[in-house]
Amino acid sequence: MSSPWEAAADLVVVGTGVAGLTAALEASRRGLRVLVVTKAGARDGNTRWAQGGVAVVLPGEHDDGDSVRRHIDDTLVAGAGLCEADAVATVLADGPGAVTALRRVGARFDTLADGLLARTREGGHSAFRVVHAGGDATGAEVERTLLASARNRELTVLERQAAVRILRTPEGAAAGLVVLDDDGTFGILRAPAVLLATGGLGHLYQSTTNPDVATGDGIALALRAGATVADLEFVQFHPTVLYTGHDATGRRPLVTEAVRGEGAVLVDGAGAPVMAGVHPLGDLAPRDVVSAAIIRRLADAPGGVDDHVFLDATHLGGQMFQARFPTVYAACAAAGIDPATQPIPVAPAAHFGCGGVVTTVDGRTRVPGLYAAGEVARTGLHGANRLASNSLLEGLVVGARAARAALADHAAGVLADPRRAEVEDADASSSLSVAVAERPTLQRMMSRYAAIGRDADGLGVLADTLAEASTVRPVRTREDVENAALDLTARALVTAAQERLESRGCHVRHDYPVPDDLQWRRSLVVELDESGQVAPARVLALGGVA
């Protein structure tokens, strides 16, 4: 094994999605030396796959009566009592500025004949306020814009470098990052500030809308560095993911909620509407409500079709569908489905981790020098169920804020000297021995016992299986890094899910079917104990990062 190479920066950003690139660009513009690392290629993150859009209320471009205040209210309702109201207010208030800034550097959103932005509606929104690009390719346009800016600024992006662990000083402050490339060579990146923007955790499950990179890496890195995570039990399942057979696994094509925004209706195998009488917003109810209604309908099916329902968008006609939803149309065509004449078979699949590394709304964690932004972070914006299209917005807003927080912390002299990072010897970076579960077993058990519909028995079986299925061994490859991250993230999630004895938002328990505001209208924090094991969950102090 070759000895590790070394590099230094003021800020290391892990991830090339919307939050990571926004942070890196902001920090670079403000004079910090920035290194961006990603375990895959720069374009391989989750951002590219975002379809629906960015939820934002822009001055002069909104429905009558719509306002940032109403956007805040919709977010709080969707979050099922667990959002932090101050976090919601401050992040959404910065949304219009963030979108305007992105357009200024070249993002092209869809417009109407009068030149104003086209707006659609998604689940949980009381107004048409979701702006989009390329019809249903909003994430791709956001990513294109940010990567072009990164090229213009000559940002250094180190590709195919998996983040193994965060370097720390003897006092516990972040001081850099150990990375591992595809050839098994380790690198040491010394920096007083490290920003995690690693995205989500969809590959905890057999079927997900997330790309291969979404393996919970940032959650595991943060936990091992001494940070806390919260709200991890709230995994959002997107209701309409293209169904191509019960054995289809891995990343599955999304059928954006905006299709329902344009009038499509969910029906069961017998053609009966799924959402009739379930919620006042019908097919555009918040996502947790729609996914749970589908699962209930499937469970009640008298024989016949019992693992998918249908999204009927035939009213749109072929030309309109193809023009407005080119990505979905292509996925349907590849599966032999014509949305103009056939209802689209769909089923829920893992989509978004509403919880994550506990941060302030500026991306600070409780570990000095460690920041997080985007899906990996838990700012308090999403609560128990994220409002549709709030995530690109959060990535833009909190990504930029986290960069400014790192800059302010540099200026205030509160960050560590990265020369004091604990790197015991040349090969120390490879000596990280952690529990690594077999991925297929983990995904199968998580899908069975920790998806929509959980109970104490199933979660107990899952916890035992995770303990049995994992072995402690050194991390030598990217796959090891990912499997170890999945293992730790699953344990943390199951710990919180076992503890939360109620149903709320995306956490649906058969044995505790109703919300219990008195006991449980609070976030649960998970951290590691001194021996590196997941400690029992505890309640998060409001507004805190500890």
- The residue ranges that bind ligand SIN (CB under 6 A) are 50-52, 256-258, 352, 388-389, 391
User: In the complex, what is the shortest distance from the CB of residue 124 to ligand SIN, in angstroms, rounded to a whole number?
Assistant: 10
Which single residue is written with the structure tokens 């039990």?
A: 233
Closest to ligand SIN by CB, 237 vs 352, is 352
- Interatomic CA distance for residues 62 and 43, integer angstroms: 32
Closest to ligand SIN by CB, 169 vs 385, is 385
Q: Phi and psi dihedrals of 68, rounded to 5?
A: -60, -35
369: tokens are 């020098």
Residue nearest to ligand SIN (CB): 52
- Strands 207-208 and 250-251, bridge-based pairing: parallel
Which single residue is written with the structure tokens 């209320």?
A: 57
Q: How many helices (H) and strands (E) does the chain have?
A: 15, 25
Closest to ligand SIN by CB, 374 vs 458, is 374
Which single residue is written with the structure tokens 């109703």?
A: 514
Point out which residues pair with 76 in neighbouring strands. Answer: none
Q: What stretch of H or E contains 439?
A: helix 439-449
User: In the complex, what is the shortest distance from the CB of residue 258 to ligand SIN, in angstroms, rounded to a whole number?
Assistant: 6
Which single residue is written with the structure tokens 């009739």?
A: 276
Give the number of other CB atoms < 10 A from CB of residue 333: 12
Q: Is 190 a catalytic residue?
A: no
User: In the complex, what is the shortest distance from the CB of residue 394 to ligand SIN, in angstroms, rounded to a whole number?
Assistant: 10
Closest to ligand SIN by CB, 52 vs 135, is 52
User: In the complex, what is the shortest distance from the CB of residue 252 to ligand SIN, in angstroms, rounded to a whole number?
Assistant: 13
User: In the complex, what is the shortest distance from the CB of residue 328 to ligand SIN, in angstroms, rounded to a whole number?
Assistant: 9
User: In the complex, what is the shortest distance from the CB of residue 127 to ligand SIN, in angstroms, rounded to a whole number?
Assistant: 16
Point out which residues pair with 434 in neighbouring strands. Answer: 473
Closest to ligand SIN by CB, 202 vs 363, is 202
Closest to ligand SIN by CB, 150 vs 285, is 285
Closest to ligand SIN by CB, 87 vs 164, is 87
- Interatomic CA distance for residues 247 and 228, integer angstroms: 35
Closest to ligand SIN by CB, 75 vs 391, is 391
Closest to ligand SIN by CB, 392 vs 421, is 392
Q: What stretch of H or E contains 147?
A: helix 138-152
User: In the complex, what is the shortest distance from the CB of residue 207 to ligand SIN, in angstroms, rounded to a whole number?
Assistant: 16
Q: What stretch of H or E contains 435?
A: strand 433-437
94: tokens are 């910065």
Q: What are the C-alpha distances in Å from 403 to residues 188, 362, 378, 469, 543?
A: 21, 8, 17, 39, 20
- Interatomic CA distance for residues 176 and 174, integer angstroms: 6
Give the number of other CB atoms < 10 A from CB of residue 360: 20
Q: Do residues 167 and 421 make contact, with C-beta atoms less than 8 angstroms apart?
A: yes
Q: Please, which residues have CB within 8 angstroms of residue 222's CB and are 6 or more apart in sequence? A: 166, 196, 229, 357, 365, 367, 370, 372, 376
285: tokens are 């109810």
Q: Do residues 515 and 472 make contact, with C-beta atoms less than 8 angstroms apart?
A: no
Which single residue is written with the structure tokens 């814009």?
A: 145
User: In the complex, what is the shortest distance from the CB of residue 73 to ligand SIN, in angstroms, rounded to a whole number?
Assistant: 18
| Per annotation, catalytic residue among 144, 168, 190, 287 | 287
> Cα torsion at 503, 504, 505, 509 (round to 10°)?
-10
Q: Do residues 6 and 187 make contact, with C-beta atoms less than 8 angstroms apart?
A: yes
User: In the complex, what is the shortest distance from the CB of residue 367 to ligand SIN, in angstroms, rounded to a whole number?
Assistant: 29
Closest to ligand SIN by CB, 49 vs 186, is 49
User: In the complex, what is the shortest distance from the CB of residue 209 to ligand SIN, in angstroms, rounded to a whole number?
Assistant: 8
Residue in 405, 392, 414, 390 with CA at minimum distance from that of residue 360: 405
Report, as residue numbers or ranges, the catalytic residues: 287
